[in-house]
A and B are shown apart, each in its own frame.
Chain A
Amino acid sequence: MPTKPGDDGNDRVDADERRSRLRESATFPRNVIAEIQRAAETGIYAIRGGGAKRSVPNFDDLLFLGASMSRYPLEGYREKCATDVTLGTRFASKPLHLKIPITIAGMSFGALSGAAKEALGRGASLAGTSTTTGDGGMTDEERGHSQLLVYQLLPSRYGMNPDDLRRADAIEVVVGQGAKPGGGGMLLGQKISERVAGMRDLPEGIDQRSACRHPDWTGPDDLKIKIQELREITNWEKPIFIKIGAARTYFDTALAVKAGADVIVLDGMQGGTAATQDVFIEHVGIPTLPALRQAVDALRELDMHRKVQLVVSGGIRSGADVAKALAMGADAVSIGAAAMIALGDNSPESEQAYNAIGSSAGYYDAWHEGRDPMGISTQDEALAARLDPVLGGRRLANYLNVLTLETQTLARANGKSHVHNLEPEDLVALTIEAAAMARVPLAGTDWIPGHSKF
């Protein structure tokens, strides 16, 4: 510890002592002041990666009841608790068979480095699940490294072509994303390398903003025909997913069913993005928890629950999150940011490298700048070389295995021989808000706000 007056240590003590006599405004805290001054300096909105940072009701606000006198638990190790999922049983002749109820969400080559995409493919394949392309097309490398690959059809149609449609294992029509329902993607010049520009047919180094609406259809009636076209091109083999951002989820889910989806992918507002306006991320869309319940409501009402599979994403971190999502009625979950973190994103071991670019481990969200010291959200070859795709794949597979083991642990505790047997009746809520949104009773009561009288 420094002892001499004027040393850093004493300055810190002075500053702490000073602040203890001062009061920070709740209306204008330091981060708000910083943003106003950043806006005044630059004249342009803040752009960042990641999902909503605000605190919203989430799966942590739910608990499992477990088993006791009235329910029998299953023995760990000895009694089977299955985790397999089949996606696309409605129309596709070749549905997707996953060993675990966790998939890797769409992230583009462009937003992510080639090494990161390879690591995702390797990890997902080891764990028996799928990865997803992104806005920018399919690379040969990711097709090669992913045993099961979902090919996204986005408004921009960058790199879209029928050969890649035919070599995909499923097709995901992206209508929206939880971080920005109603917004298109962004990829700023720093990340438009020669190869990325070539794949997207854009000039190198431009600040690219993707379209937010599909160029050749509007509304579910058109989309139904669009999906028919995709099926005709691919011989009715591929499961067709529709991905929606959490907005008017009850109606959007019903319309996605009407449009002919085999699978609906629902992304809540905690879901990440590679780059979008901060104001969009924080102020548009609803959290994963209420959106999931609304989607399941719509599927049940149409008698389509488990017939059209539901994959939910946005803030999934642990096996507890997975198990709670499944108990609420999802067929599987999808992870994006958590998979990046498993590869090393925001690792405290690299604090100095984050400091060098004006950030800090645990806070880094400037994914759009392409300066990621961990080599994940970058197109800089020297940075990307820091990520070992084989080791990264192993780390992701380990993480997926932990999520699965945790999910099984909770399912067995509730006496379930398949993770899909988890049900809303196994859940209670810790807060009134979560009880209302998830429509499960507040713990110790039979009260569901908005549903039953207190």
Chain B
Amino acid sequence: MSHTIDLATATTRELNSALQAASKVTPKQNWTVHNPGGGHTLAVGLDGDVDVTIDGHVGYYCAGMNQRANVTITGNAGPGVAENMMSGQVRIKGNASQYAGATAHGGLLVVEGSASSRCGISMKGVDIVVHGSIGHMSAFMAQSGRLVVCGDAGDALGDSIYEARIYVRGEVASLGADCVEQPLEQIHRDELAQLLTNAGAVGVDVGDFRRYGSARELYHFKVDNAHAY
């Protein structure tokens, strides 16, 4: 079933109520949202299998805490898109602002353009694939999951990172505390190829990427690391 809702007339509350209800319905529904107008907190708290296309630009926290739903944004996304996502997929055709995928626990976030600073901050299991580049302090305190960047990464990539894995094809301006380059083994090539396929990043050579992760030097308080505290 195909449905539309127009934010030129409907309120955010009406939109989210409708989409949250639709996410609980079988068979799966297909919704298109018109005139998002950069509005905040659109399509948040979805909790089930539903396809949502938002035709335009969105503001803060679009698709926040998403569970199982499949949300596509045809324009750009404001700060905190797909924050704390648990599962499902969020795809942004344009660029994403700060904190894309912040603290997300699962699912797949695809940014077909570039993402700003703090992409994947405190990520907890999500997979994030950015076709373009990402800004500074990305993957700060990243706990788990994978961050793939087909372009370049800004300063202090992966600062205080835990067990997340980062793959960058282009230049890394600088690495943050305790983040180091690590060898790209076959298992990494395999998971990278799978992630790129899932994200629809075609014509990208897995061998061009470098892998980064935690040196695990800051996992325990040590006098010798006092400079890093």
Interface residues of A (CB under 8 A from B): 42-44, 156-157, 160-163, 165, 188-189, 200-203, 206-207, 211, 215-217, 222, 225-226, 228-229, 232-236
Contact = CB atoms under 8 A, between A and B. Distances in A.
Interface in B71-122: 79-80, 83-84, 86, 98-99, 102-103, 105, 118, 121-122
Nearest to A158: B124
Contacts of A215: 83, 99, 102-103, 118, 121-122, 140
B226 A232 contact: no
10 contacts: A157-B122, A157-B124, A162-B67, A162-B86, A200-B143, A211-B141, A216-B98, A217-B79, A229-B41, A229-B65
Contacts of A207: 219-221
Interface of B: 12-13, 16-17, 20, 40-41, 44-45, 47, 59-61, 64-65, 67, 79-80, 83-84, 86, 98-99, 102-103, 105, 118, 121-122, 124-125, 140-141, 143-144, 162-163, 219-221, 223, 226
A225 B41 contact: yes
B136 to A, nearest CB: 14
A157 B85 CA distance: 12
Nearest to A165: B65
Given A42-B223, A162-B47, A216-B103, A232 B125 contact: no
A235 B19 CA distance: 12
Contacts of A44: 221, 223, 226
Given A216-B79, A232-B12, 20 more contacts: A43-B223, A156-B122, A157-B84, A157-B102, A157-B122, A160-B103, A161-B65, A162-B45, A200-B143, A201-B125, A202-B143, A203-B219, A206-B162, A215-B103, A215-B118, A215-B121, A216-B99, A222-B60, A225-B41, A232-B45
A260 to B, nearest CB: 12
A443 B61 CA distance: 53
User: Shortest 9 CB-CB distances between A and B: which pairs?
Assistant: A233-B45, A43-B223, A157-B103, A216-B80, A162-B65, A229-B41, A216-B99, A216-B102, A206-B219
Contacts of A211: 122, 141
A288 B219 CA distance: 35
A378 B45 CA distance: 35
A234 B45 contact: yes
A201 B103 CA distance: 11
Contacts of B44: 229, 232-233
Contact of A226 (B61, B144, B226): B61
Contacts of A157: 84, 102-103, 122, 124
Contacts of B67: 162-163
Nearest to B164: A201
A156 B219 CA distance: 16
A213 to B, nearest CB: 10
Nearest to A162: B65
Given A225-B40, A228-B41, A229-B40, A203 B163 contact: yes
A222 B60 CA distance: 9
A215 B123 CA distance: 10
Nearest to B43: A232
A351 B209 CA distance: 60
A229 B60 contact: yes
Given A162-B65, A162-B86, A189-B220, A232 B162 contact: no
A361 B7 CA distance: 63
A225 B140 CA distance: 23
B61 to A, nearest CB: 4
A229 B58 CA distance: 13
A203 B124 CA distance: 12
Nearest to A186: B221
Nearest to B140: A215
A202 B67 CA distance: 22
A77 B202 CA distance: 79
A225 B60 CA distance: 7
B121 A216 contact: yes
Contacts of B118: 215
A99 B189 CA distance: 60
A156 B124 CA distance: 10
B12 to A, nearest CB: 7
Given A162-B45, A215-B103, A217-B80, A229 B61 contact: yes
A166 to B, nearest CB: 8
A443 to B, nearest CB: 47
Contacts of A162: 45, 47, 65, 67, 84, 86
Contacts of A188: 221
A201 B126 CA distance: 12
B7 to A, nearest CB: 14
Contacts of B102: 157, 215-216
Nearest to B144: A201
Contacts of B86: 161-162
B215 to A, nearest CB: 13
B60 A201 contact: no
Contact of B79 (A160, A200, A206, A222): A222
A160 B85 CA distance: 10
A215 B137 CA distance: 11
Contacts of B61: 216, 225-226, 229
B64 A233 contact: yes
Contacts of A234: 45
Nearest to B163: A203
B219 A201 contact: no
A192 to B, nearest CB: 10
A161 B124 CA distance: 11
Contacts of A161: 65, 84, 86, 105
B162 A202 contact: yes
Contacts of A233: 44-45, 64-65
